Amino acid sequence: MGTIVIDEHYEKCRKILKENISPKRYAHSIGVSNTAACLAMRYGCDVNKAYLAGLLHDCAKGLKPEELVSLVESEGMEISESERDNPELLHAKAGSILARDKYKTGDDEIMGSICSHTTGRPAMTLLEEIIFTADYIEPNRTNIPNLEEIRRSAFVDMDRTIALICRNTLDYLKSGRSVIDKMTTETYEYYSNRVNRSKE
C-alpha cells in the first residue's frame, strides 16, 4: 500500500496523456499525481491508485465542449444546469469515462475520484478526497488565497481542508459572478458540518 509501482500500464498512460493535453496541463497532472501519492501515504490509502488517479484526473481537458457533452450523454450521466452553461465542468465526468475506455484503468475507485475531483461531493471516499485535495494544492498552483494554510492542513485534517477548499472556490466564483455548481455548495456544507461536529 505504501510503495509506488511505476509499471508498464502507468508508463503507457503517461505517454498517451502527454500527447493529448497541453504541456502546462501535463505538468499539473504530474504534480497532482505526486501530491496524491504523498497524501495516500499519510492517510493509508492505496498509493498506486492515488498516483494513477492523480495522473489521469484531467485526461479529458483536451476535448472540445461539444465532445465533452456528447461523451457524458453517451453514458447516460446527468448534466446539471451549471454544466450545460459551462461544459468545461464536464471534463471530470468525461475524464472518468476516458480513464476506463482510453486508458484502460478498469477501476471504479479511480473513475469515481476523477469524476468528483472538480466539485467534490458529500461523503467522498478517501481516494476521492485525496484527488480533490491534491488537484488544489499541487506544487504548480500559485496565487490562491490561503494556499499555504490549506497545504499544511491537508496533511493534518482532511475534513477541514476540503471545507477550506470549497469555501475558497465559492468565494472565487461569487466574486466573478460565475455559475456555481450546487454540488460544490453541498460539499462545503457537508464537510463544514463534519468539522463543526468534531469540535463538539
Q: Which of 93-97, 104-108, 159-163 has the lowest mean pLDDT?
A: 104-108
Query: Does position 168 have pLDDT exceeding 90, yes or no?
Result: yes
> How many other CB atoms are there within 10 angstroms of residue 174's CB atom?
10
What average pLDDT score do residues 84-105 get? 94
- According to CATH, the superfamily of the domain at 8-144 is Hypothetical protein af1432 (1.10.3210.10)
- 180's CB contacts (< 8 A; 6+ apart) are 82, 170, 173, 174
Using one digit for the tens of pLDDT, what is the confidence trace for 112-135?
999 999 999 999 999 999 999 999
Would you say residue 151 has pLDDT above 80? yes
Residue 200 in this model has a pLDDT that exceeds 70: no
Domain extent listing, the chain: 8-144
- Grid cell, residue 7, equals 509499471
Asked whether the whole model's pTM tops 0.85, one would answer yes
